[in-house]
Structure 1
Amino acid sequence: MSEWTWEWTGYDPAAERLRESLCTLGNGYFATRGALPECRAGLVHCPGTYAAGCYNRLESTVAGRHVVNEDLVNLPNWLLLRFRLRRAEGDWGPWFSPHPHTLQDHRHTLDLRRATLTRTFRHGNDEAGVLGVEQTRLVHMGDPHLAALRTLFTAEDWSGEIEIESCLDGEVINGNVHRYRALNRRHVTQVRTGTHEPHTVWLTCRTSTSDIAVAMAGRTTVVADRAPAASELRPARHRAVHRLVVPIAPGRPVAVEKTIALHTSRDTAISDPLGEAIDRVSTAADFPSLLDSHAAAWERLWRRTDIQVPGEAGRILRFHLFHVLQTLSPHTADLDVGVPARGLHGEAYRGHVFWDELFVLPYLNLHVPDVSRALLDYRYRRLPRARRAAAAAGRTGAMYPWQSGSDGREESQEWHLNPASGRWLPDHSWLQHHVGSAIAYNVWQYCEATGDTEYLYTKGAEMLLQIARFWADLADFDPDAGRYRIRGVVGPDEYHDSYPDSALPGLDDNAYTNVTAAWVLTRTLELLRRLPAWRREELFQRTGLDADEPPRWEEVSRRLRVPFHQGVISQFEGYDDLAELDWDAYRARYGTIRRLDRILEAEGDTVNRYKASKQADVLMLGYLFSPAELRQLFVRLGYDLDDDVWRSTVDYYLRRTSHGSTLSELVHGLVLARARRAEAWQYVHEALEADIADIQGGTTGEGIHLGAMAGTLDLVQRGLTGLETREDALWLDPVPLPALSEYGFTIHYRGHWGVGIRRRSGHLEINVPDSEQSPIRVVLADRAVTISPGETCTLVLPET
């Protein structure tokens, strides 16, 4: 395999869902899993097509409980194309179905450069002979409403006919996640089908409650030296079918081209989804031309975003970037969508938006900033809903939901199933209010990277102000401690959602929550001082901000409590009172203990009793903030955070984390790159392998982990370079990591397109392309340089 291609050989039913996720093709508007075209959904295969932002809400009764869930909808399956053979003067054989014993030379090749998936195999049949098959598919990056599948049939030493059935299938459910099987999963209703001569069938449907109209039109044509012997367009109740019979003989291959168009009523600048789909597919070019324009669109995208790292790590990083761009492409800039935690690759987490943009936007900000801005607009449009949620909880400001979907209401579960015990348990993850700080952080980082003061002074200022307002109101003053405290929350760890034996959910003074809340308050006050007087007055009037609120923010931002114990930062107040877990015993008993919470609950115990974390919590502070900025934050809060305290804190939690989230190794890898370099590569390597190796045992088949994939890119771009965008400068503080000692990428920084940053042989090279923009100021730990457009600066890095 080259640095641009990935291959899967053979046919293994047990591994198909994983391969389908990893071979998903998309363009930001919609994506289709890498399922086999001849297979409908079942125990082995899960074809799925998902349009960004296309959600639907259903009610279910499970174990006597009434639950309501909103899901990203699995749309009708456009891929279906099956075939059967007959020799001359013979009867029709069975429809082809894959089987490990009958498939010869079965191979899937994912071409990242051109974003195509090619499948080749030979099908042997005693009655009909051997047939060679090559199938290539694409989901068009130039025209986001188009996708295509080309199938080339080659007969080996026999002649006869091949019957092809090309179908649009509306008999679909959300069936990708097995543990959701007891829920109502039929989101698509009112399926209608029809034909449009001479080669096109169509299908329309609606989502059952959100009432989104979905239309697909499919054109199937044959490229052969002889015309089809028969062709029939046949609409059925839930399927629109096009059947063709084509002569085939050695030396006379048959190519079948299937092109589809997808539109929904969420689209802009259309009047009728069905009419638009039919018109678009009818005028679409043939497959070779579509492939050329699709590859050209990807070539332009790669120029803006690619990252160059030698070896296997570089291959994986590019693979991760490929899937990030398929979910969040330039087309995303025109959509009202957030960052789905599992991409557009499957149905886990129901397609919801969590805090994953915290790991995604740092990379996008410096490559496709218009996409970052659109993702922030998703949050801004839901600011009124977040304000209503805060008011319903008796608070001011904005309380953003932990899980968001179509309209920004809280989509987190009230109950969740533990597969290890079969019991339904209360779900308190909605208490992760730190998602608001993540949104504020993303606003600030986007504006620092782009210099987009217009956004910062308008939508960004409103979001920051309302999030700061919420934190200030949530913080209560404790006269005994002489500090403000935030009580009843859940931190990023997620294992700990209450104190042992407590009837109330939530924890007090989660260090990550409190420090990031202090950061939000500090940055919002800084922004208010920077605003022009007229804009500040307008903002105060628009938001109803009282004059006495900013002084309170100032006080809270300096006096929020951060607990410590044994010389380290406590994850939350009372953490030191918890019992130590016998980690070796549990690893010996269960092998993998990534989901330690489920293991303990199945034993009748609870992880709330132990010093054990699912993923990085306190250490997330080292992921978000440079060492200097983190020290400044603690100084502002009245605490001393020197290198010894931080290293001790890293060591302490490293020994007490089960890494039950794919984000965990990523965060630990970046933090250790600065705190304990010798151990960093182990975690970086696991972060790179997380989805490819499916280290969580089956979860990747339900959708890739988008935050973890994007985070590995950020680990190189920001973690290894120490890159920060602040104070109108690029700040760099490179750290040597032997396994990733060479890298290169280009960034878009404040109007400069293609600023090149490359490290190799102890040198850091920065190239600013020629333009009429202002020079760039670059600040390192021991020097500062100014680089004018058209210049290249090579810096010798100190040996460590």
Structure 2
Amino acid sequence: MNQKYILPDPWSIIEEGFDAEKVKSSESLFSIGNGAMGQRANFEEDYSGETFQGSYVAGVYYPDKTRVGWWKNGYPEYFAKVLNAPNWIGIKVSVNGEDLDLHTCDQVKNFRRELNMKEGYYRRSFQATLQNGTEVMVESTRILHLDQDELGVINYKVTALNKDAEIVFSPYLDGGITNEDSNWDDKFWDTLSVSEADHQGFIRSMTMKTQFHICTYMQSDILVNDSEATPAYTSEKKDQYLQFNYKVNISKGDTATLRKYAGYTVSHHHKPDNLVNAAKDAINAGRTMGYEGLKASQAEAWSSIWEMADITIEGDVEAQQGIRFNIFQLNQTYLGKDARLNIGPKGFTGEKYGGSTYWDTEAYCLPFYMATKDHTVARNLLVYRYNHLQKAIENAEKLGFSNGAALYPMVTMNGEESHNEWEITFEEIHRNGAIAFAIYNYVRYTGDISYVAEKGLEVLIAIARFWQQRATYSTHKNKYVILGVTGPNEYENNVNNNWYTNFTAKWCIEYAASEIDRLKQDAPAEHTRIMEKTRLSADEVTQWLKVSSNMYFPYSEEHNIYLQQDGFLDKELITVADLDRSQRPINQYWSWDRILRSPYIKQADVLQGFYFFEDHFSQEELERHFDFYEPFTVHESSLSPCVHSIQAAKLDRMEQAYTFYLRTSRLDLDDYNKEVEEGCHITSMAGTWLSIVEGFGGMRVRDGHLEFHPRIPKHWDKYAFKVNFRGQILKVTVSRQGNSFELSGSEPLSIKVKGETKTITPSN
């Protein structure tokens, strides 16, 4: 049973009442970030109960040595993972000589925390009675600033309720941090220096092996009843730790406040020997604006994001809260400012999956960023993969491929494969298809054909070469087959002729060949340059097409469907409806052997192909395949409900589409998979956006034009979203009374609505 303790609210994530059992889950749900750094919602004051401390810096990683029982040729040597970074949020609090700790307080009441998504801050408040009898009220507000993205600020207020109080605030920096998911308990950070000067503190650290340099810094101001105070302070310095101590005496009813300006400066943007000076600049900029100024500018920055990215839903608060939570977390994770960065499946909310780049980015996230931001943001995601092309070629070479064939990694930080499960690393090769499809999807949506000539075609050629070499000619079938793979359904490993993989291979080859032909006609000079650079001949392309035109696809005449893989019908075909609920999720109760022999599907597999390549199939074919495969799908991947929601909506099965939508939008808020304490599912959140825009809204791009087939769940009165289509902003509103379209732009826009062509004129 999913948990439901988050209060329904259209703009905020709210928890009321302190429950130690929910602390780690809430640390994930209330996480904050600004694209450059982020952190779990750990308490600032000490907490001796169970907690998962986590602070992360975008692009900073460590190659943790792979831990496997035995080694295989081609295995990645390292598992690159996001690092738990030095902690700057900490503020020890002592009240009349006793440390404030919610785990040891005699009583905690009126506990409340709120993630305000509209204005971009995290606030927590509570009343506590300490064992010494002192009652205090605490309110803490934390901001990671979007514009000054090296800077965070904490406004920590303590009010004495029942007696006078001596408050000691001890803000600190802690560089002695480790990862919970370390393979070998290696030391990830080397502390280079700990220094202080005039209320300012700095810890200079460097990652082992990768040699990323960061400076973690802080400066604090003290206020009493909102007036600045200047108490004397002492400092405590250790090898990896720095703490300042400020003593404030307040009368009953008075409030003492500590404002902590802190964050990271990183060698991505500064020379290592200038990090401390850069930190001083960040402190000065933050204190010049002040807490209220930073809070106001943060609200303004988020207002600008919401103006474009918001989806409004009337009549269903939980659905509204769900989609805004997903949009908020996506923007906290990645803003497209730096082409060196990408989108980890957990973002800044946890360490699982190593914080690395998966095929999720191309398959699920790219459409969100294309439609809600300037197209350059999505282009940066493609450039990220282009910049890793040589590494992808090297990854393929390690597995025995040649001639510039590329296999993009399943998991990466720098282009090298760093996944350490053989059935994924070697066999889940369909990820190559998502890289190619993203190029097609980007060009289709933005009309930016220049990308293919500049960078994209080189990637497509390398991927086509891989597929041509990976296919095997079967004299028995007189077809090309692809053996020993894992499809999107990771509950089947080492299968032959996964339909999705085979179809993807065929499509990739034919798309690459068509783009080569197009470039030869439209840009002959670029065509010649690329053919020479890649040493590609017309004869080689002919060999590709020989494979793609004669690809084998497993098919059942009995069921009139494509088979997920050759042996799927050999399984005992018991549907999920007949599966004992006590055995769910099966990945937590069954052996892997039992899972592999079962018919159960982790996420869309054949239906993933019908989603990507829908123009190749009829509505009737989709319906047959949906009816066959969905009953065997356990949806134990976060990426599963969104695709099924889109397909159900296309089939006009709105109740089912709505159920899947609610599951994908509230996957973490209601903890469907019983794992949110490990972090939120950031990349699948883009699928939530797709469920509304492509599912209920029915948005597609065909022949350079937008098409819509709007539908509305019975639970909703109205919904609306905006898309940035080739520089023009189109707002789509769907209600029970009908549909409306509002255009902000310079030229009329021709669209299709349920097959009928409409011309929308700008309203501005």
Q: TM-score, normalised by structure 2?
A: 0.91
Contact 2:136–2:161 (CA<8 Å) still a contact in 1?
A: yes
Identity of aligned residues (%): 25
Alpha carbons of 1:228 and 1:84: their partners in 2 closer, same or farther (altered >3 Å)? Answer: farther
1:643 and 1:58 map into 2 onto residues whose CA distance is 47
2:438 and 2:474 map into 1 onto residues whose CA distance is 31
State the partner residue of 2:83: 73
Unpaired segments of 5 or more residues in structure 2?
Answer: 1-7
Deviations 1:125-179 (A, max 9, x none): 364532111100010011110011001121124223211100011121112xxxx
Alpha carbons of 1:583 and 1:289: their partners in 2 closer, same or farther (altered >3 Å)? Answer: closer
Counterpart amino acid of residue 787 in structure 1: I
User: Does residue 714 in structure 1 map to residue 686 in structure 2?
Assistant: no
Alpha carbons of 1:62 and 1:13: their partners in 2 closer, same or farther (altered >3 Å)? Answer: farther
State the partner residue of 2:235: 233
Counterpart amino acid of residue 630 in structure 1: H
1:131 and 1:95 map into 2 onto residues whose CA distance is 10
Pick from 499, 502, 524: which aligns with 1:514?
502
1:27 and 1:149 map into 2 onto residues whose CA distance is 15
Contact 1:398–1:470 (CA<8 Å) still a contact in 2?
A: yes
Where 1:738 maps in the other structure, the secondary structure is coil
State the partner residue of 2:5: none
Where 1:113 maps in the other structure, the secondary structure is coil
Deviations 1:288-326 (A, max 9, x none): 111111111111111121111222211110011100110
CA shift, 1:625, in A, is 3.5
Pick from 703, 714, 722: which aligns with 2:679?
703
State the partner residue of 1:394: 400
CA shift, 1:520, in A, is 1.8
Please list, as runs of the form range in 1=range in 2, the aligned pairs for 1:466-505 lying within 5 A after superposition: 466-497=462-493
Contact 1:5–1:109 (CA<8 Å) still a contact in 2?
A: yes
Deviations 1:56-91 (A, max 9, x none): 0133767799974321000011110021122xxxxx
Counterpart amino acid of residue 443 in structure 1: I
1:69 and 1:674 map into 2 onto residues whose CA distance is 40
CA shift, 1:491, in A, is 0.3
Where 2:147 maps in the other structure, the secondary structure is coil
Contact 1:191–1:237 (CA<8 Å) still a contact in 2?
A: no
Pick from 511, 520, 538: which aligns with 2:529?
538
Alpha carbons of 1:560 and 1:708: their partners in 2 closer, same or farther (altered >3 Å)? Answer: same
Alpha carbons of 1:397 and 1:308: their partners in 2 closer, same or farther (altered >3 Å)? Answer: farther
Alpha carbons of 1:524 and 1:17: their partners in 2 closer, same or farther (altered >3 Å)? Answer: same
Pick from 345, 354, 359: which aligns with 2:364?
359
Counterpart amino acid of residue 659 in structure 1: H
Deviations 1:271-303 (A, max 9, x none): 622221122213323211111111111111111
CA shift, 1:740, in A, is 4.9
CA shift, 1:36, in A, is 0.5
1:741 and 1:467 map into 2 onto residues whose CA distance is 46
Pick from 117, 136, 146: which aligns with 2:151?
146
Deviations 1:738-763 (A, max 9, x none): 335632111111121x3211111242
1:785 and 1:582 map into 2 onto residues whose CA distance is 44
CA shift, 1:737, in A, is 3.4
Pick from 534, 539, 561: which aligns with 1:568?
561
State the partner residue of 1:724: 700
Unpaired segments of 5 or more residues in structure 1?
Answer: 87-91, 415-425, 498-505, 632-641, 792-800
1:450 and 1:700 map into 2 onto residues whose CA distance is 35
Higher relative contact order (CA 8 A, sep 6+): 2
Alpha carbons of 1:594 and 1:743: their partners in 2 closer, same or farther (altered >3 Å)? Answer: farther
1:485 and 1:126 map into 2 onto residues whose CA distance is 71
1:555 and 1:489 map into 2 onto residues whose CA distance is 21
2:410 and 2:584 map into 1 onto residues whose CA distance is 27
Where 1:309 maps in the other structure, the secondary structure is strand
Counterpart amino acid of residue 80 in structure 1: G
1:778 and 1:256 map into 2 onto residues whose CA distance is 55
Counterpart amino acid of residue 261 in structure 2: T
Where 1:134 maps in the other structure, the secondary structure is strand
User: Does residue 4 in structure 1 map to residue 11 in structure 2?
Assistant: yes
User: Does residue 34 in structure 1 map to residue 41 in structure 2?
Assistant: yes
State the partner residue of 2:324: 318
Where 1:143 maps in the other structure, the secondary structure is coil
State the partner residue of 2:443: 447
2:726 and 2:271 map into 1 onto residues whose CA distance is 31
CA shift, 1:6, in A, is 1.7
Deviations 1:74-129 (A, max 9, x none): 0011110021122xxxxx23444444752121110111011111111112236453
CA shift, 1:229, in A, is 4.0
Where 2:600 maps in the other structure, the secondary structure is coil
Where 1:337 maps in the other structure, the secondary structure is coil
Deviations 1:223-253 (A, max 9, x none): 2247344312332211111110012113532
2:24 and 2:621 map into 1 onto residues whose CA distance is 45
Pick from 61, 71, 75: which aligns with 1:55?
61
Pick from 723, 739, 757: which aligns with 1:784?
757
CA shift, 1:375, in A, is 1.6
State the partner residue of 1:672: 648
State the partner residue of 2:550: 559
CA shift, 1:262, in A, is 0.7
Counterpart amino acid of residue 653 in structure 1: Y
Alpha carbons of 1:609 and 1:468: their partners in 2 closer, same or farther (altered >3 Å)? Answer: same
Pick from 366, 373, 378: which aligns with 1:372?
378
Please list, as runs of the form range in 1=range in 2, the aligned pairs for 1:324-473 lying within 5 A after superposition: 324-329=330-335, 332-357=336-361, 358-368=363-373, 369-395=375-401, 396-414=403-421, 427-473=423-469
Q: TM-score, normalised by structure 1?
A: 0.88
Where 1:437 maps in the other structure, the secondary structure is helix
2:285 and 2:629 map into 1 onto residues whose CA distance is 59
Contact 2:645–2:695 (CA<8 Å) still a contact in 1?
A: no
User: Does residue 746 in structure 1 map to residue 722 in structure 2?
Assistant: yes
